[in-house]
Chain A
């Protein structure tokens, strides 16, 4: 079982719609969860992170975490064409005395004008 799994997509939504991106992880000891956005040919940039169960909102973005189900999601409200990118889910896990940051394969999102 892969450590961090995401639907590869592509996910296509119309402008103004809500985009929903999902991620599951295998290690119950995982402690914090990150969503990054990556435009083609560029390096990833952080959108937001979450470490407690529940929802966390930042502008048009909402991250949701359910540790019992080992599930984390990202909702993008009022999607814009500029949101078209690959969204990467990352999980930080403590192994011994070191923190390991593991990424999923990413979900390609296309927002159609």
Chain B
């Protein structure tokens, strides 16, 4: 089945530890995105990528890092520099171009204690 897979669904980490969230897609999409969602809030863009080995900072990139070594994969690392990392993280992908919809993975709920 084609789609976007995020893993794990739930993740618990101790404060001060780096953690990497996985995002894999088999839709052959060029563009991939990472968003953060806090309770009662919309989606805030962390990083996005249009092609392999290239990515851009979104609106809240501080404390996060990404890589795009393969077209199918766009992992997000939440570093210890992120002051308030507990949130719901969503990965999306789309074809490049304007009139192309983004498809979302099921999300990873990260809790830092």
Contacts and interface: CB of A to CB of B under 8 A. Distances in A.
Interface in B92-110: 92, 94, 96-99, 101-107
A44 B35 CA distance: 11
Chain B interface size, as a band, is: 20 to 34
Contact of A101 (B33, B40, B42, B105): B33
A105 B42 contact: yes
Given A32-B98, A98-B50, A103 B35 contact: yes
A64 B101 CA distance: 17
B104 A44 contact: yes
Interface in A34-73: 34, 42-46, 49, 51
Interface string A79-113: 00000000010101010011111111110000000
30 contacts: A8-B40, A31-B98, A31-B99, A34-B102, A42-B107, A43-B90, A46-B102, A46-B103, A49-B99, A49-B101, A90-B43, A92-B98, A94-B98, A98-B48, A98-B50, A99-B31, A99-B97, A100-B56, A101-B48, A101-B94, A101-B102, A102-B45, A102-B59, A103-B35, A103-B42, A103-B43, A103-B45, A105-B41, A105-B42, A106-B42
Contacts of A104: 42
A14 B31 CA distance: 39
Contacts, number: 64
Nearest to A32: B98
B45 A101 contact: yes
A43 B33 CA distance: 14
Contacts of B48: 98, 100-101
Interface in B55-112: 56, 58-59, 90, 92, 94, 96-99, 101-107
